[in-house]
Amino acid sequence: MKIPDSLKRYGLAKVFDYLDKDPMNNMGKVMELVNKFAGDTLDRQRAAFDRVIKDEDSCWHQLIEKVWTQTDPDVLKTVFNNFFVNANLVGWPKQEKMREKYGCNIPWAILLDPTSACNLHCTGCWAAEYGNKLNLTFDEIDSIITQGKEMGVYMYIYTGGEPLVRKKDLIALCEKHSDCQFLSFTNATLIDEAFANEMLRVKNFIPAISVEGFESATDGRRGNGTYQKVIQAMAILKEKHLPFGLSCCYTSQNLDSISSYEFIDQMIQWGARFVWYFHYMPVGNDAVPELLPNPEQREFMYHRIREIRATKPIFAMDFQNDAEYVGGCIAGGRRYLHPATVRFLRSGRLTPRQQETFDWPRLRGYTYGNLMRVLESPQEQCVVCQKGEYGWDGWAGTYMEIHPEEKVCALIMTAQIDRENDCARRMLRNGIYRWVL
Ligand code: SF4
């Protein structure tokens, strides 16, 4: 039986009230009810949640207990409704329907930059290059959110620039879209008593505060005095029982300190409920490639993030190393190409006359679809591949191919001047396929 959204919301609001009376004891019973409503939505995540609420020694159990008992009750109720109910239980099925209807991806969350302006000038940040030139107007952001909700999207994430340069607009948007959850990456230097009071009033705004490690690391990249301002902002939020998290960019220079247990314990003490790690990406003319973590450092971080999650009462995520938990890259590569789009790209479009004159020896056996080279007669090619392989080649030899039958993708990057001689690439391809398939 399909349960209307209004009834889901009403039922879950009652559940929240029940839960609030004795959170940790009643949570198991609540999950049983949620599982009934949710069908197969987020089933893996719910199963994991079921396990931790039964285990009192688990760091996750402790984290949930903290969130429930140390967050402002009205804010907690709003986050429960907006994030848990709207963005997931109500929003997800609606998104699925829209994906089917429009034949394209509908995101779970929409990430947008209200402005490229920032009040800081951190080393290696692209924001300084754009300055305050790029801004979305209030109406544009409002329109994005309004359209998003029609498609079932209730989660909005601000990046920048520094989003809080527009703090009045952001609060007004929280107020106008009180059924959505907003999360903002921020350097936190603009969070003061007055803004925290506004957060308490609207209840649906959560900051993810950037820190680079302890004082010398943070000030070294973000400027003198930044660390103390950030500490001050977190103290205000903690005192008002407002939820917040941290955003940590790890570089070749700060990795050891930012991933140390000493620093993790400090984050917990500050009152952060989650930490989101990213590794430094050099972007723009003033980027500093030396800050990129090396392969050993990245591997270390892959394991460290899992240790933190298993032992500390803070929800730690790594944007680059946790793709397996969100079904692959959330930015691209997933649901970007609907099967109908792929069919369109691969459908042969050459007329019989064009096909007849399509006579490049290295593409014998191929035809062209809408943009993609598609293999029709493998027997005409001296390569190991099956009918239906498709892809694209760049002029200097960069070559992308997808083998739907074997579920293999390959990207071969070359800068080859003599394109007529494809022998080396074919040998490489054949070698790889014989090994992989
Ligand atoms: S605070 Fe963020 S946006 Fe601003 S300069 Fe630093 S890294 Fe860039």
Q: What is the mean pLDDT of the chain?
A: 85
* Selection from 271-275, 287-291, 338-342, 413-417 with the highest mean pLDDT: 271-275
Confidence of residue 336 (pLDDT cuts 50, 70, 90): low
Name the pairing type of β-strands 315-318 and 366-368.
unpaired
Closest Cα partner for 157 from 191, 88, 108? 108
Confidence of residue 332 (pLDDT cuts 50, 70, 90): very low
Determine phi and psi for 192, rounding to 5 degrees.
-130, -175
Amino acid symbol at 131: G
How far apart (Å, rounded) are the C-alpha atoms in residues 47 and 35?
A: 9
What's the helix, strand, coil split of the chain in %, to 5? 50, 15, 35
Are the C-beta atoms of residues 325 and 302 closer than 8 Å to each other? no
Q: How many CB atoms lie within 10 A of CB 57?
A: 6
How far apart (Å, rounded) are the C-alpha atoms in residues 337 and 370?
A: 14
51: which 2 tokens? 């396990």
Atom of ligand 1 nearest to the CA of 126: 8
Asked whether the CA dihedral 95, 96, 98, 103 is positive or negative, the reply is: positive
Dump pLDDT digits (tens) for 202-246. 999 999 999 989 999 889 888 999 999 999 999 999 999 999 999
Across-strand partners of 178?
none
Go through 21-41 and write b for each residue having 16 or more CB atoms within 10 A of its CB, e for each that does not: eebeeebeebbeebeebbeeb
Q: Which of 113, 115, 116, 118 to mutate to test the pocket of ligand 1 (most atoms within 8 A of CB)?
A: 118
Instruction: Please give the pLDDT value at position 217.
Output: 87
Dump pLDDT digits (tens) for 248-294. 999 998 999 999 999 999 999 999 999 999 988 877 667 788 888 99
Q: What is the mean pLDDT of residues 351-376?
A: 80
Instruction: Please give the pLDDT value at position 328.
Output: 63
134: which 2 tokens? 């790029």
Instruction: Please give the pLDDT value at position 307.
Output: 96
Instruction: Please give the pLDDT value at position 320.
Output: 82
Instruction: Please give the pLDDT value at position 277.
Output: 95
Q: Which CATH architecture has domain 107-326?
A: Alpha-Beta Barrel (3.20)
Name the pairing type of β-strands 245-250 and 399-403.
unpaired
Instruction: Please give the pLDDT value at position 405.
Output: 76
How far apart (Å, rounded) are the C-alpha atoms in residues 229 and 206?
A: 18
Q: Which residue has the tokens 């008992």?
A: 69
How far apart (Å, rounded) are the C-alpha atoms in residues 88 and 96?
A: 11
Instruction: Please give the pLDDT value at position 334.
Output: 54
* Selection from 124-128, 200-204, 250-254, 357-361 with the highest mean pLDDT: 200-204
Instruction: Please give the pLDDT value at position 266.
Output: 97
Kindly give the distance from the C-alpha atom of residue 363 to the centroid of ligand 1, in angstroms, as a whole number: 48
Please tell me if the CB atom of residue 188 comes closer than 6 angstroms to any atom of ligand 1.
Answer: no
Residue 161: is its pLDDT beyond 60? yes
Closest Cα partner for 186 from 127, 253, 98? 127
Q: Which of 219, 222, 276, 280 to mutate to test the pocket of ligand 1 (most atoms within 8 A of CB)?
A: 222
Instruction: Please give the pLDDT value at position 319.
Output: 85
Atom of ligand 1 nearest to the CA of 118: 4
Please tell me if the CB atom of residue 211 comes closer than 6 angstroms to any atom of ligand 1.
Answer: no
| Extents of the domains making up the chain | 1-100, 107-326, 339-436
Residue 329: is its pLDDT beyond 70? no
How far apart (Å, rounded) are the C-alpha atoms in residues 393 and 357?
A: 19
Strands (E), 159-233: 181-186, 205-211
Specify the range with the lowest mean pLDDT, choosing from 37-41, 81-85, 420-424. Answer: 420-424
Reduced to 3 states (helix: H, G, I; strand: E, B; else coil), residue 40 is coil
